[in-house]
Structure 1
Amino acid sequence: MHDSRLQQLTQWAKQQFTHAIDILPASNDASFRRYFRVYHADKSWIIMDAPPEKESLTAFIHVAKLLKPLVQVPVILAQDLKLGFLLLSDLGQQSYLTALQSLPAESLYPDAIASLITIQAATKTQQNSLPHYSPALLRQELQLFPEWFIARHHQQVIPEWLDKIFDVLIDNATAQPQVIVHRDFHSRNLMYMANNNPGIIDFQDAVIGPISYDLVSLLRDSYYVLPRQQLTQFCHHYFEQAKQQKLITQAISFATFQRWFDLMGVQRQLKILGIFCRLHYRDGKSHYLHDLKQTLCYLQQVTPAYPELKELTQFLTDHQWIDE
């Protein structure tokens, strides 16, 4: 990793500390950002490397300030927007995805749901401080499915009925209560913490959007699969908590919420299929292709229950991509 960017980062990091430090790669994500862990003695910090020509730090800084009084997020200790570097507190190396290898889901997910409710309950004061998940943005995301998954990855003709399906999914999203949405609230972005669990990262794309979006990211996670009965239990748990906080009115039945949740999941999973293929073809990040199968599994579990999605159900059945 001897690149000029890393040399810049190392020089900047040394300016932030009066003592000797070691710098090691921490992780990459699905964007152009990279993360490095800075060590001194028994302490560690994180440096985010976001090349200014490709990634803006402004949104991350803004959302970090918004979330800091509410939940556990990294503290920004130093910043250089011109260079594209942030020095952050370190929330550790144990994501929910890692923790779930040794801990039961019921010891982790209630904390994540409690944090989600706390974030959503702060929506009233933040309505104008975040972008809105507009119908145009929802449609733009959905277009990734035909462009990258159908046409590019499978070299199939894009069906004409797809726009009608997109209309159903967008109408479902906009009909829901609109709250603060993290947009990637899943097991890789939740850190298992001994205190104030979970730590929450990768929140820079936050918007005001559908109330079921982050819950479906958490419970229908492309990287970790919950048993169906447990998923339903967590869904009910969230629903009751959301009603207590008046995020959902008493008039809304669980059946209505289930439809919101399921169709929101279809929107997200179609988008993810497109994103994973784009990461492979455009960005050379081919490991995301391994997660296509689980994302397709979620779609094939859900769509048959909704007659308004019958063309999509038949399309997925006909092509049997899940068996590849």
Structure 2
Amino acid sequence: MNQSHLPLSIFLADEAETIRLGEELALTVKPGDCIALIGDLGAGKSTLARALIRAIADEDALEVPSPTFTIVQSYALRFPVAHLDLYRLSDVSELDELGIDEMLFDGVCLIEWPEMASSELPKDSTITLRLTHQGDGRVATIDAPPKQRARLERVLAIREFLDENGKKNASRRYFSGDAAYRTYELVRDANGQALLMDWQPPPRGPVIKDGKTYAEIVHLAREVKPFVAIQRFLGENDFTVPQILAQDLKRGILLLGDIGRDGVLDEEGAPIEERYLESVACLAALHETPAPGDITLADGATYEISPFDADAMKIETSLLLDWYLPHIRGEEIDESEKQSFFAVWDQLIEKLDDAEQGLLLRDFHSPNIIWQADKSGIQRVGIIDFQDAMIGPMAYDLASVIQDARVTISPELQARLMAHYLDIRRKNTDFDEKTFLKAFAIMAAQRNCKLVGIWVRLMKRDDKPHYMKHMPRTFSYLRSALEHPDLAPLRDWFESAGVDLHQQ
């Protein structure tokens, strides 16, 4: 038999290790997964099940009663969890009344004494976990379909990483997943709390131009090395970024210092002016910092930061053509209209030849700014999610925060933020304000053209219609950018295309 198809075998020396395995399983399961727990009385099934449910809830004291008499105990957590005990079932026909298929539609089933239902459980998503006594401990034997097994093996690889870096007894909890290939865990022990970044390379995706995928054309990071490189540059220049406590570049695992959750918005989701002002001051300081060349990593490897080149700029704006226009028209646009759009952008990109170039973080806006109340000056601005940074017109980042895609920044506040930034930059006699403002307008237009396409794509392709609430704000920002005289060609294109820029 192929070694990869053999069941996994894990020795559990005591109850603490059984709990640890339950917590790790909580990190692997996704809606649609079923865990079949097999073992004699006293084998530890209830201990493991309780640990798994409490870990998903992130509540160590959560009451998790045995479902022996109720048969099913349901939990409305990050995703629904159904805990079943089939010991008292007398016939497989009784399963129909339980509705396991419905439970698995958007949730997870955890089944003790699953033997009664073995023929009814989904073969492509059932993880079978058998607990048997061995000496003073137990052995967990786990058999799982390929997808579920791969997730479990990844979680166990992270266990090994944590053990090697002094976190053997730490608890692990799911924190977030900002991409299908990048997730975060909270790691807690007696020394405090850290964040673990688990970054697995994504599938390459379809080739769309010149042998490259969309991600390759726009220079999206595909591995953890860019994060490590940019973190090093920012940290060495006294900007506040998460400290890297431990790393395994080959496996794509980082242990990061936790810089908190306090952002730049108030409880109602409105911008806190002081924090936005400090954020643009932080950008001004970054823009006075010489751009990095190749960055040397701790292991001696080097990382070359990609340029924000014309191909990247244009293909991002094409999201408007590919998603937004077909959405409002009900049909695809013709090739001549596409070419006229790209011809306009060729003109605008040429106008960026004299733009101030440097490190642009790419997504410097409210979700990625963590306020550091215990620090002073620009170090109060904690920066995260910078792995996609490029070298290009630095005005892009100022546009991304002054015209925050997810927050309404009033025209008055936008003006105050711009004035604050310019006041700082004017202290440098080499700063060309007129050229910078031209680049700001072009970069704001470029970013907002991309965003109107992204909101529709998220709705239509990814079934996330709530992002459409950002559309009116995005168009208001786009209108503001188009007021600059150098943007007249793009303004004329929208008019000829019949696009209503006054979206409500």
Q: Classify the TM-score, shorter chain.
A: 0.7 to 0.9
Task: Indicate if the aligned counterparts of 2:264 and 2:272 stay in contact, CA closer than 8 A.
Answer: no
Partner of 2:413: 230
Mapped partners of 2:496, 2:191: distance in 1: 55
Q: 5+ unaligned residues in a row in structure 2: which ranges?
A: 1-26, 30-150, 204-221, 296-303
Show CA shifts across 1:236-276 (max 9, x none): 22122123235623xx44xx543321221000111222334
Task: Indicate if the aligned counterparts of 1:57 and 1:81 stay in contact, CA closer than 8 A.
Answer: yes
Partner of 1:75: 243
Q: Bigger radius of gyration, 1 or 2?
A: 2
Change in CA separation of 1:127 and 1:39 when aligned onto 2, cut-off 3 Å? closer
Partner of 1:181: 360
Q: Structure 2 residue aligned with 1:11, among 137, 159, 175?
A: 159
Mapped partners of 1:237, 1:270: distance in 2: 26
Mapped partners of 1:20, 1:244: distance in 2: 52
CA drift at 1:315: 5.7
Partner of 2:293: 126
Mapped partners of 1:127, 1:244: distance in 2: 29
Q: Which segment is superposed worse, 285-294 or 171-180?
A: 285-294
Task: Indicate if the aligned counterparts of 2:186 and 2:196 stay in contact, CA closer than 8 A.
Answer: yes
* Alignment map for 1:181-200 (pairs within 5 Å): 181-194=360-373, 195=375, 196-200=379-383
Q: Which segment is superposed worse, 27-36 or 75-84?
A: 27-36
CA drift at 1:59: 0.7
Mapped partners of 2:371, 2:271: distance in 1: 10
Task: Indicate if the aligned counterparts of 2:476 and 2:502 stay in contact, CA closer than 8 A.
Answer: no
| Residue 491 of structure 2 corresponds to residue 310 of structure 1 | yes
Change in CA separation of 1:103 and 1:213 when aligned onto 2, cut-off 3 Å? closer
CA drift at 1:224: 1.3
CA root-mean-square deviation: 2.9
Q: Structure 1 residue aligned with 2:198, among 37, 45, 49?
A: 49
Partner of 1:108: 275
CA drift at 1:56: 0.4
Change in CA separation of 1:110 and 1:202 when aligned onto 2, cut-off 3 Å? same
Q: Structure 2 residue aligned with 1:66, among 214, 227, 233?
A: 233
Q: Structure 2 residue aligned with 1:299, among 468, 478, 481?
A: 478
Task: Indicate if the aligned counterparts of 1:59 and 1:204 stay in contact, CA closer than 8 A.
Answer: yes
Q: Which has the higher strand share?
A: 2
Show CA shifts across 1:27-86 (max 9, x none): 232563222221224721111111134530111111111111220011111112232211
Partner of 1:259: 438
Mapped partners of 2:292, 2:225: distance in 1: 20
Q: Structure 1 residue aligned with 2:387, among 204, 211, 216?
A: 204
Mapped partners of 2:363, 2:317: distance in 1: 16
3-state DSSP of counterpart to 1:232: helix
Task: Indicate if the aligned counterparts of 1:95 and 1:187 stay in contact, CA closer than 8 A.
Answer: yes
| Residue 340 of structure 2 corresponds to residue 141 of structure 1 | no
3-state DSSP of counterpart to 2:351: helix
Q: Partner amino acid for 1:119? A: L
CA drift at 1:136: 2.1
Q: TM-score, normalised by structure 1?
A: 0.85
Q: Partner amino acid for 1:140? A: I
Change in CA separation of 1:320 and 1:108 when aligned onto 2, cut-off 3 Å? closer
Show CA shifts across 1:159-190 (max 9, x none): 24211221233223333111111111101111
Q: Which has the higher helix share?
A: 1
* Alignment map for 1:217-296 (pairs within 5 Å): 217-246=400-429, 248-249=431-432, 252-253=433-434, 256-283=435-462, 286-296=465-475
Q: Partner amino acid for 1:263? A: I
By relative contact order (CA 8 Å, sep 6+), the higher-ranking structure is: 1
Task: Indicate if the aligned counterparts of 2:441 and 2:484 stay in contact, CA closer than 8 A.
Answer: no
Change in CA separation of 1:125 and 1:34 when aligned onto 2, cut-off 3 Å? closer
Mapped partners of 2:271, 2:477: distance in 1: 24
3-state DSSP of counterpart to 1:265: helix
Mapped partners of 2:188, 2:491: distance in 1: 54
Q: 5+ unaligned residues in a row in structure 1: which ranges?
A: none
Task: Indicate if the aligned counterparts of 1:185 and 1:217 stay in contact, CA closer than 8 A.
Answer: yes
CA drift at 1:18: 4.2
Mapped partners of 1:315, 1:31: distance in 2: 39
Q: Partner amino acid for 2:412? A: Q
Change in CA separation of 1:149 and 1:45 when aligned onto 2, cut-off 3 Å? same
Task: Indicate if the aligned counterparts of 1:99 and 1:192 stay in contact, CA closer than 8 A.
Answer: no
Q: Structure 1 residue aligned with 2:188, among 35, 39, 44?
A: 39
Identity score, percent: 26
Change in CA separation of 1:276 and 1:34 when aligned onto 2, cut-off 3 Å? farther
CA drift at 1:234: 1.2
